[in-house]
Amino acid sequence: CIPALSFLNDMKKGGLYVIGTNICGDISETGFVKKIEEWNQAWLSLVHMLEIKAFVETTVDQNIRNGALNLIMTAGLGGMTPNTVVIGFYDSAESTDFLNSPDG
């Protein structure tokens, strides 16, 4: 996700973001609140490390479609609303650890 965030930061000229994650499941299950806090903390650490301006949101829903919709609907602050939405998709490629790679 780091190359994508760097690209978006350049594209938006350092503008404001809303970065988020959707966790599939039922929020009433044990441990979901802790999982949300962990995701938010991980995103906040990444935002701080990359020195970008971003709000962090985590949504919980039964499926990806509704979670993405909820994430999009939570975006914005007052009169400021996003005009660009970027959604990442999983693929079968092996993950690369950009934080620990020498090319990073």
In the prediction, which pLDDT does 90 show?
63
- Vertex 46: Cα angle to 62 and 55 (nearest 5): 60
In the prediction, which pLDDT does 101 show?
60
For residue 10, give both structure tokens: 């350049």
Tens digits of per-residue pLDDT, 51-84?
Answer: 888 888 888 888 888 888 888 887 766 777 666 6
Residue 96 has pLDDT above 80, yes or no: no
**Helix pair 2-11, 32-50: axis angle to 10 deg:** 60
In angstroms, the CA 57 to CA 55 distance is 7
What pLDDT band is residue 102 in, cutting at 50, 70 and 90?
Answer: low
